[in-house]
Structure 1
Amino acid sequence: MTIDFYNRFIRENTGIINKICRAYTDTDEDYEDYFQEVCLQLWRSHSFFEDKSAVATWVYRVALNVCLTHFKKAKKRVETGSLKEIDMLRTETDATEAEQFEQLYKAIKKLKEIDRAIIILYLEDKSYKEIAEILGIKTNHVGVKVNRIKNTLKQLIHG
């Protein structure tokens, strides 16, 4: 791994990789595995990056693909009944910002894979056009999905 590769693809995009890996894992151990796998896949495929899109867009795509692939494999091994109860997401009026952030991520983890990807990109302040480009869907579909996802998250968090 060269320092140029590390700076351009990993260091400058660590926040992106962190958020995506966090949304698809429940434990620190899984998070570290996903993060390493994303970095490895970026290294393996960086020679195919053609500068037709922003580096961050490409990193999002790679990270999402890696995390979705691993998440689907892990999901097959775990029974769906092992998910935590929705009641754990209920907020108290005096919840701290950190607690609210944690509740949001717990709720995001309960979403469908594509919905997770959309909301993570949305929370990263990506435009609907950028989200559509990264995920390969239509821009107007992104807007509809974002509104539905917001409503679902409100339901999960507030009951």
Structure 2
Amino acid sequence: MTKKEQFTIIYQQHHAKVFRMCRGYFKGEEHAANDTAQEVFIKIWQHLDTFRNESLLSTWIYRITVNCCLLHTRKPSVKKEVFTEHVPDSIQQEYNPVAEEQLKKMYACIGQLEAADRIIITMVLEGIEYPEIADITGVSGDTLRVRIHRIKKKLSNCVQP
């Protein structure tokens, strides 16, 4: 299999999750999430030959995603106007103002968390298994479970004061 074919498969299998992780990290800000997701796949392309199979491919990809999210926040920000009205991604997606408001509130609450906690909860919401999250973040399984419990409690208090 060529590098291009391998990359295409990786992109098809992981793009949606990478984008959602970035969107969660950047508090629902689509532009920053798109930019960062593109950076992630550029890095994957550049370093695909160096992947050593010491961990799952998905773990390697999510580690790159975490690093890109953290690096993106360190870059000098450029002030820009943000179009805040939601536009559905496809014709199939129904606009639900109640769900949209809940989603905005959840992103606002996630945005109040520390950077590491935002990454962790975004991976939890993506359904990534705890052992893989522990590997990506470099914390023990027990520590991770405690952190996730505390993060969920903070979010619960924020969403339903």
TM-score, L = length of structure 2: 0.77
- How big is each residue's C-alpha offset from its partner over 1:57-90, in whole Å with a ceiling of 9 and x where there is no partner? 111100110111111335xx59xxxxxxxxxxxx
Distance 1:52 1:65, change over 3 A: same
Asked if 1:140 is matched to 2:142, the reply is yes
2:99 maps to amino acid? E
What is the Cα deviation at residue 98 of structure 1? 3.6
* Closer/same/farther in 2, CA of residues 36 and 126 from structure 1, 3 Å limit: closer
In structure 2, the partner of 1:69 is 71
Alignment gaps of 5+ in structure 2: 79-96
AA at the equivalent of 1:20: M
Q: Is the contact between residue 24 and residue 71 of structure 1 (CA under 8 Å) also seen in structure 2?
A: no
Q: After the TM superposition, which parts of structure 1 deviate over 4 Å for at least 4 consecutive aligned residues?
A: none
In structure 1, distance between residues paired with 2:30 and 2:17: 17
For residues 4 and 126 of structure 1, the distance between their equivalents in structure 2, rounded to whole angstroms, comes to 22
Residue identity (%): 31
Q: Map 1:1-159 onto structure 2 (within 5 A).
A: 2-8=4-10, 10-25=11-26, 27-74=29-76, 77=77, 96-159=98-161
TM-score, with structure 1 as normaliser: 0.78
How many residues matched? Answer: 140
| Higher fraction of helix | 1
Any idea what the Cα deviations from partners look like across 1:84-142, whole Å, max 9, x if unmatched? Answer: xxxxxxxxxxx733432332222112211110111111112223222111111111000
Structure 1: gaps spanning 5 or more residues: 79-94
Name the aligned partner's letter for residue 22 of structure 2. C
CA contact (8 A) 2:130 2:141 kept: yes
| Secondary structure of the structure 1 residue equivalent to 2:60 | helix
Question: Within 1, Cα distance between the matches of 2:119 and 2:30?
Answer: 20
Deviation at 1:153, TM superposition (A): 0.8
